[in-house]
Amino acid sequence: MKMKLSLLALALFAIGCNEKASPSANLPTQPASASAPIASLNGQPITDEDVRKVAGVKFAQAEMELFDIRKDAVDQIIAGKLLEEEAKKQNTTKDALLKKEVFDKVNVADGDVKKFFEEKKDRFGDKKLEDVQGNIRGFLSGEQNKKLMDSYLSQLKKKNDVAYLIKAPTIDVPEGDAPAMGPKDAKVRLVEFSDYQCPFCGRARATVNKINEEYKGKIRYVFRDFPLSFHKDSQKAHEASHCAEDQNKYWEMNKKLFESQKDLQVESLKKYAQEVKLNGKKFDECLDSGKYADRVKSEIQAGSSLGVSGTPAYFINGRMVSGARPFEDFKAIIDEELKKD
């Protein structure tokens, strides 16, 4: 029995927790300049700059979506041209080149299929390995294919003069008094809006930790609260993290909460406070009083105003990246930002 494609997509490709589906943005047509008239009233011009002031963050979000579409298209064009040029140099066809350099190198072992199934068994319900191994093998083959293709294209880019002249739009994301690590004057600031009860946020910890380790001293990482309404224990968990912050144990509690996502009830939060060596009496008083309830709610409002509707959501120097993305996606943007003057 084969798993339906829709179930496989749900099981394998979801990358974030969402409050609700975001509507598709109406992509703007950019005028020649911000001061160029795009309408008029009784002879008085209305400019693109006027529109931006009124539309605010919605305009910036639409520009980000348009940038992503353009960037993807540019990447496809560059990849096609690089492959064609390399095929000519090797006196072969593009298809033959890809077969040799990419497709023939894809090899998914039976052990890899079994390991994937065991690690993600909860996503397959009552399905057995034999029911889904073909789908899993196809998925893993696709992942391998993408990595090999990206690696090969990266090699070709290094051998050629490739320059991207389009500029990514950004949104101003203030740090405020949110917990942060890394130098304040770092060239790159990574802001994460996250939810302690969101499983995708939990899975993203390995990537976030790798980023902070690899770019230590070069980036500033900021964690902002965004508990989703359908995660009933998350609000209190976020309050608990700030109660721990009162005792200079924010990051210890942050780590503990992500490790304990399946049990974030109040009594458990108090037990975790003991485990991270907090003063239990002070912590319990803080949590029970709701001292940080309004602060967490204000963070939700701040995130929503920036267009955040699901978790995890990241802003790298104001460039939005949604979902539990692989490390390579963050690395590409961070490296690009670090190279800027």
Give the pLDDT score at 65: 85
pTM: 0.73
| Count, residues in the chain | 341
Q: For residue 183, is it left (φ>0), alpha (ψ between -120 and 50) or beta? A: beta
Predicted local distance difference test score (pLDDT) of residue 322: 84
Collect the ranges in the chain with pLDDT lower than 50.
1-13, 21-32
| C-alpha span between 323 and 93 (Å, rounded) | 37
Inter-residue contact 259 to 251 (CB < 8 Å): no
Confidence (pLDDT) at 216: 96
CA–CA distances in Å: residue 65 to residues 14, 142, 307: 19, 25, 12
For residue 215, CA distances in Å to 17, 256, 331 come to 27, 23, 9
**What amino acid is encoded at 287 in this protein?**
L
pLDDT of residue 104: 96
| Residue 229 backbone dihedrals phi, psi, to 5 degrees | -60, -30
- For 222, phi then psi, to 5°, come to -120, 130
The DSSP bridge pattern shows strands 44-47 and 180-181 to be unpaired
Q: What DSSP designation does 160 have? A: S
SS3 250: helix
Peptide bond into 169 cis (omega under 30): no
pLDDT of residue 3: 40
- Domains in the chain (CATH in brackets) are 1-12+25-168 (no CATH), 180-339 (3.40.30.10)
What tokens appear for 267 in the block? 């009594």
Supply the pLDDT for residue 231: 96
pLDDT over 70 percentage in the chain: 91
- Which residues on neighbouring strands pair with residue 194, listed in sequence order? 225
Task: Give yes or no for a contact between 278 and 256, defined as CB atoms under 8 angstroms apart.
Answer: no
DSSP single-letter state for residue 279: -
Q: Phi and psi (nearest 5°) for 60?
A: -65, -40
Contact 226, 313 (CB under 8 A): yes
Supply the pLDDT for residue 127. Answer: 92
Max distance between CA atoms of the chain, in angstroms, equals 76
* Helix boundaries (H) for the chain: 5-12, 48-55, 57-89, 94-101, 110-119, 129-158, 199-203, 205-214, 234-245, 250-259, 266-275, 280-289, 293-305, 327-339
pLDDT reported for residue 34: 62
The pLDDT assigned to 133 comes to: 93
